[in-house]
Amino acid sequence: MTDGTIAVVGTGLIGASWAAYYLARGFRVVASDPAPGAQQALRERIDGFWPTLETLGLDEGASRDRLEFAPSIADAARGADFVQENGPERLDVKRSILAEIEQGVGEDVLIATSSSGLLVSEAQKGMRHPERLVLGHPFNPPHLIPLVEVLGGEQTSSENVERALAFYAGIGKKPIRINREVPGHVANRLQDALWREMFHLVRTGVASVADIDTAISYGPGLRWALMGPFLTMHAGGGDGGISHFLEHLGPAMRDWARDLGEYPETDEYVSTMAEGVEDELAGHDWAAALAARDRLLLGLLAAKAEAPEIP
170: pLDDT strictly greater than 70 = yes
Task: State the pLDDT at residue 2.
Answer: 60
Average pLDDT over residues 27-45: 97
Supply the mean pLDDT for the chain.
95
Strand partners, 32: 9
- What confidence tens digit (pLDDT) does each residue in 81-136 have? 999 999 999 999 999 999 999 999 999 999 999 999 899 999 999 999 999 999 99
For residue 143, is pLDDT > 90? yes
| pLDDT single digits (tens) 207-234 | 999 999 999 999 999 999 999 999 999 9
**Is pLDDT of 311 > 90?**
no
Cα angle vertex 221, ends 303, 296, to 5°? 40
Give residues with Cβ within 8 angstroms of 199, minimum separation 6. 261, 263, 264, 269, 273
For 1-15, how does the pLDDT look when each residue is reduced to its tens digit (9 = 90+)? 467 999 999 999 999
In angstroms, the CA 51 to CA 102 distance is 34
| Contacts (Cβ under 8 Å, ≥6 apart) of 187 | 139, 147, 149
For 50-60, letters b (16+ CB in 10 Å) and e give bebbeebeeee
Q: Are 272 and 202 in contact (CB under 8 A)?
A: yes
Query: In angstroms, rounded to a whole number, what is the distance separating the alpha carbons of residues 205 and 208?
Result: 7
- Residue 71 DSSP one-character state: S
pLDDT above 90 as % of the chain: 96
Q: Under a CB-based contact definition with an 8 Å cutoff, are residues 84 and 8 in contact?
A: yes
Which residues 6+ apart lie within 8 Å of 107 measured at CB? 129, 132
Per-residue pLDDT averaged across 128-148, rounded? 96
Q: What is the reported pLDDT for 3?
A: 77
Name the helix (H) or strand (E) containing 94: helix 91-104
Q: What is the pLDDT of residues 73-89, one digit of tens each?
A: 999 999 999 999 999 99
pLDDT digits (tens, 9 = 90+) for 251-298: 999 999 999 999 999 999 999 999 999 999 999 999 999 999 999 999
**How many CA atoms does the CB half-sphere of 271 hold within 13 Å?**
2
Domains in the chain with CATH codes: 5-177 (3.40.50.720), 187-305 (1.10.1040.10)
Length of the chain: 311
